[in-house]
Chains A and B, each alone.
Chain A
Amino acid sequence: MDLDTIIQVLDSTIRLSTPLLLACLAGLFSERAGIFDIGLEGKMLFSAFFSAAIAFTTGSVWLGLLAGMVASIALSAIHGLASITFRGNQLISGVALNFLASGLTVLVAQDWFRQGGRTPTLEGGARFEAITLPFAESLRGVPVLGPIYADLISGHSILVYVAFAMVPLTWWVLFRTRFGLRLRAVGEAPEAVDTAGVSVVGLRFAAVAICGALCGLAGAYLATGLQAGFVKEMTAGRGYIALAALIFAKWRPWYALVACLLFGLLQAIALRYQNIDLGAFVVPVQFMDALPYILTVVILAGFVGKAIPPRAGGEPYVKER
């Protein structure tokens, strides 16, 4: 395997990791605040459709992004209303939203564009274009580092850079700011937050809103960056893989980056090497395609050591005497 191939696979890894990473960090904010969110998938799908639809209609990818985030935050608000205000079951609310998004996107797409539940292909200003970083071309000649900079680091859309910048930002917000301290506290011991005179409901809604915004970015990237338009079920379980990555990462931002890159790498390998010939036998493409999902099951089954979720996670907060 030469350097070019490696760079191509890693380049693809970065692209495929981006939606996972955004969704994973979205889940991190929500779950750190004690609200389990199985609806990452649905929010991404919602955002993917609305961002593509608005981007196509207006010709502006930025308006599309905005629409995607608004749509995703709207679903978050419903999740918050059900699980925070009305203290409903968070898993059921999340599953319901996933079904809602899955059905509604196709229905609206069909009614709107009449193309079998997809949006028309996006072109030009309706898509996020790759950004060429400064000196990418002039440094290409430098051995090893040149191609890495020019082909691997440079040449992604803005949302990719946003996603990777979100990792240190998330860490900083969680562990260095007052908001982060309170957010982590509300997921561990909401009664401590409540008796300290801080609103549990307010904090949790804030966390859910951030989750919605990040899922919005993830969905918009899928439809307007990674691909050119919305197709039915285009998230393909990425919301669930992001949840698995979150558990794998034990709810920590830097670990989330590592976990998402790993899943991204698996997807990239599956995409590039359809049948892998090991001499004695051939690993079929179906197995490679299934690998990220198999790994998800393995991780969720607890093969990666003990992952302790936030103590108050999944529990609606009820004031007690």
Chain B
Amino acid sequence: MAPDDREETMTQPAIELKGISKAFGPVQANRDISIRVMPGTIHGIIGENGAGKSTLMSILYGFYKADAGEIFINGKKTEIPDSQAAIAAGIGMVFQHFKLVQNFTVLENVILGAEEGQLLKTSLSKARGVLKQLAEDYALRVDPDALIENLSVGHQQRVEILKALYRQADILILDEPTGVLTPAEADHLFRILEGLRDQGKTIILITHKLREIMEITDTVSVMRRGEMTATVKTSETSPEELAELMVGRKVLLHVDKKPAQPGKPVLEIENLRHVDSWGVERLKGISLSVRAGEILGIAGVSGNGQSELLHVLGGMTTATGTIRVNGQEIDLTGQHSDGQSRRARGIAHVPEDRHHEGLILPYTAWENLVFGYHRDPAIQKGWLMDNAGIKAEAAKKMERFDVRPPNPNLAARNFSGGNQQKIVLAREIERDPDILLVGQPTRGVDIGAIEFIHKEIIRLRDKGKAILLVSVELDEILSLSDRIAVMFDGRIMGERLPAETDQTELGLLMAGVTEKPDKPLIEAVDEQLKAKAQREARNNV
């Protein structure tokens, strides 16, 4: 399906990969991949987690050496044994996790590795000039003397882009660039990318978000299980077709659910406050209620108190205020404020951080499936645990939750992200709790598993349970929630009904903007985020 229009065959591709293969032990991460990226275009690469997108780009950036295959840059065969060679070939990469030195200034980060001469003075003054020019050309404004740790995530990403441009990159690779951004920041990033494209730069955008592909790319390549399954023009495809190409079968992109039938309030939170170990107030008087048979979604940029809210509710930390479960107040500071007591009150918790809080990775699946409920008398045999019974029970749960492979003796770390999450969900949901706390249920989970997890959450709701969902994915919040509360800086900025709001309004609330600003949207949001970063920087001194 490669596009071979006359005009495209006439110009050289900026990047051409031919027959790239790469294996890690028995795992074939990339298999005979060929791709052509035209200059001056935004080329999307989409695929599930583990489809081999990042491996492919790491080969292009010299992080890995391909087992087989050739790389052509602007028609010239190029060897890329290390990052230095990639930079020399005009390739710049913006990683998902930024590669910045936190306590260096923007300028120092930009020149690192691209200094001129032994002394810093000349490099710094030159970079200052270049940065000023780039800021004008591409609307990439960042204070050159600011420390990275004081910048918002969106600004840090701009520094990464500036780093690449300073090294005169013509080809820019961005790996999942919007994962950490607010919708407004993501929009701004897209405007920057369009500006770069219009100036003739070539951009490769790696993502698993269909919406971004449809919105900004010119061409899109789809990867599945290490293979390139298609390359199509974005204007000639649809999200449904791309999703099918990614997963290999039809998927439901929107969640099918009946309207909620909310009952009486099950979880009531009043004026909840939490101060962390640094003395910073992370929850500043939260009041919420979740009714039976309803999903309350908490939207927000990560780090605005959502994690602390889950920790307090799950009994992992203390707080002041009032929490009532089925009308009865629960202990927030005393000896009945731990996770064990919360479970006894019917609160189940699927934590945000599956690797550290949800699972014990070296333990087996069956051990993980009983953890937290292992004192239940029903699974004891005298002094000992009834391991055989627990294992049989675990096997059943794994089958019902479609955990693959369905082997209870396998260590948790050997399952993929989606299957690990299913193990945690199976443990919590199968105990039939009154309240389910779910944090980032589909972070790092592939599309097939996302669908399954969403269905399970809705099934629990339809059984009349109260569900509190925390997610940074607005799509997820919008499609799952019956009611949405937006958190910013430890406060609830407002509640909305999914049918009566949209990404833009939620995005503004997430950035702490409650009224329509007189300034352009982007600037208003930037200012808010900057103010927040500065506050945090002050708090952390």
Are B83 and A194 in contact (CB-based, < 8 A)? yes
Residues of B within 8 A of A118 (CB): none
Are B54 and A197 in contact (CB-based, < 8 A)? no
Q: Main secondary structure on chain A at its contact with chain B?
A: helix
Q: Which residue of A lies closest to B116 (CB)?
A: A178
> Does A177 reach chain B (CB closer than 8 Å)?
yes
Residues of A within 8 A of B119 (CB): 176-178
> Does B84 reach chain A (CB closer than 8 Å)?
yes
Are B113 and A182 in contact (CB-based, < 8 A)? yes
| Given A178-B117, A188-B103, A319-B63, A193-B112 contact (CB < 8 Å) | yes
Q: Which of B58, B111, B113, B117 has the most CB of A within 10 A?
A: B113
> Does B178 reach chain A (CB closer than 8 Å)?
no
> Does A285 reach chain B (CB closer than 8 Å)?
no
Residues of B within 8 A of A198 (CB): 84, 112-113
Are B113 and A189 in contact (CB-based, < 8 A)? no
> Does B373 reach chain A (CB closer than 8 Å)?
no
Are A181 and B112 in contact (CB-based, < 8 A)? yes
Chain B, range 99-147, C-beta contacts under 8 Å to A = 99-104, 108-109, 111-115, 117-121, 123
Residues of B within 8 A of A223 (CB): none
- Residue of A176, A177, A181, A191 near B99 (CB, 8 A) is A191
- Residue of B55, B63, B101, B120 near A176 (CB, 8 A) is B120
| Given A181-B108, A193-B112, A188-B83 contact (CB < 8 Å) | no
> Does A48 reach chain B (CB closer than 8 Å)?
no
Are B63 and A188 in contact (CB-based, < 8 A)? no
- Residue of B61, B102, B114 near A188 (CB, 8 A) is B102
Q: How far is the CA of A180 from the CA of B123 in the complex (A)?
A: 14
Residues of A within 8 A of B95 (CB): 195
Are A185 and B101 in contact (CB-based, < 8 A)? yes
Residues of B within 8 A of A194 (CB): 83, 99
Q: How far is the CA of A178 from the CA of B114 in the complex (A)?
A: 9
- Residue of A177, A185, A311 near B118 (CB, 8 A) is A177
Chain B, range 57-94, C-beta contacts under 8 Å to A = 58, 61, 63, 82-84, 86-87, 93
Counting residue pairs across A and B whose Cβ atoms lie within 8 Å, the total is 73
Q: How far is the CB of A278 from chain B (nearest CB, A)?
A: 39
Are A179 and B109 in contact (CB-based, < 8 A)? no
Are A189 and B100 in contact (CB-based, < 8 A)? yes
| Given A176-B119, A182-B112, A321-B58, A195-B101 contact (CB < 8 Å) | no
Are B104 and A178 in contact (CB-based, < 8 A)? no
> Does A196 reach chain B (CB closer than 8 Å)?
yes
Are A197 and B63 in contact (CB-based, < 8 A)? no
Q: How far is the CA of A192 from the CA of B103 in the complex (A)?
A: 12
Are B118 and A321 in contact (CB-based, < 8 A)? no
Residues of B within 8 A of A175 (CB): 120
Residues of A within 8 A of B117 (CB): 178
Q: How far is the CB of B417 from chain A (nearest CB, A)?
A: 14
Residues of B within 8 A of A179 (CB): 118
Q: Which residue of B lies closest to A197 (CB)?
A: B84
Are B82 and A188 in contact (CB-based, < 8 A)? no
Q: How far is the CA of A182 from the CA of B102 in the complex (A)?
A: 14
Q: How far is the CA of A321 from the CA of B117 in the complex (A)?
A: 31
Q: How far is the CB of B537 from chain A (nearest CB, A)?
A: 14
Are B120 and A195 in contact (CB-based, < 8 A)? no
Chain B, range 194-214, C-beta contacts under 8 Å to A = none
Are A195 and B93 in contact (CB-based, < 8 A)? yes
Are B102 and A193 in contact (CB-based, < 8 A)? no
- Residue of B109, B121, B123 near A192 (CB, 8 A) is B109
Q: How far is the CB of A198 from chain B (nearest CB, A)?
A: 5
Residues of B within 8 A of A185 (CB): 101, 104, 112
Q: How far is the CB of B420 from chain A (nearest CB, A)?
A: 18
Residues of A within 8 A of B82 (CB): 197
| Given A188-B101, A319-B63, A321-B58, A193-B113 contact (CB < 8 Å) | yes
Provide the A145-180 mask, 1 if CB < 8 A to any CB of B, else 0: 000000000000000000000000000000111111
- Residue of A177, A192, A319, A321 near B101 (CB, 8 A) is A192
Provide the A301-321 mask, 1 if CB < 8 A to any CB of B, else 0: 000000000010000000101
| Given A195-B95, A196-B83, A321-B54 contact (CB < 8 Å) | yes
Residues of A within 8 A of B99 (CB): 189, 191-192, 194-196
Chain A, range 182-216, C-beta contacts under 8 Å to B = 182, 184-185, 188-189, 191-198
Q: How far is the CB of A122 from chain B (nearest CB, A)?
A: 39
Q: Which of A184, A188, A192, A194 has the most CB of B within 10 A?
A: A192
Residues of B within 8 A of A180 (CB): 120
Q: Which of A179, A188, A189, A195 has the most CB of B within 10 A?
A: A195
| Given A189-B102, A192-B101, A194-B83, A178-B115 contact (CB < 8 Å) | yes
Provide the B304-324 mask, 1 if CB < 8 A to any CB of A, else 0: 000000000000000000000
Residues of A within 8 A of B120 (CB): 175-178, 180-181
Q: Which residue of B lies closest to A312 (CB)?
A: B101
Q: How far is the CB of A95 from chain B (nearest CB, A)?
A: 27
Are A195 and B109 in contact (CB-based, < 8 A)? no
Residues of A within 8 A of B121 (CB): 176
Q: How far is the CB of B288 from chain A (nearest CB, A)?
A: 35
- Residue of B58, B102, B109 near A311 (CB, 8 A) is B102
Q: Which of B83, B87, B108 has the most CB of A within 10 A?
A: B83
- Residue of A189, A192, A311, A321 near B63 (CB, 8 A) is A321
Q: Which residue of A lies closest to B108 (CB)?
A: A181
| Complex A-B: 5 CB contacts under 8 Å | A181-B108, A181-B111, A182-B113, A194-B99, A198-B112
Interface residues of B (CB under 8 A from A): 54-55, 58, 61, 63, 82-84, 86-87, 93, 95, 99-104, 108-109, 111-115, 117-121, 123, 163
Interface residues of A (CB under 8 A from B): 175-182, 184-185, 188-189, 191-198, 311, 319, 321
Closest 3 CB pairs of A and B: A196-B113, A197-B84, A192-B99
Given contacts A197-B84, A311-B102, 7 further A-B contacts (CB under 8 A): A188-B104, A192-B100, A193-B112, A195-B61, A195-B93, A197-B86, A198-B113
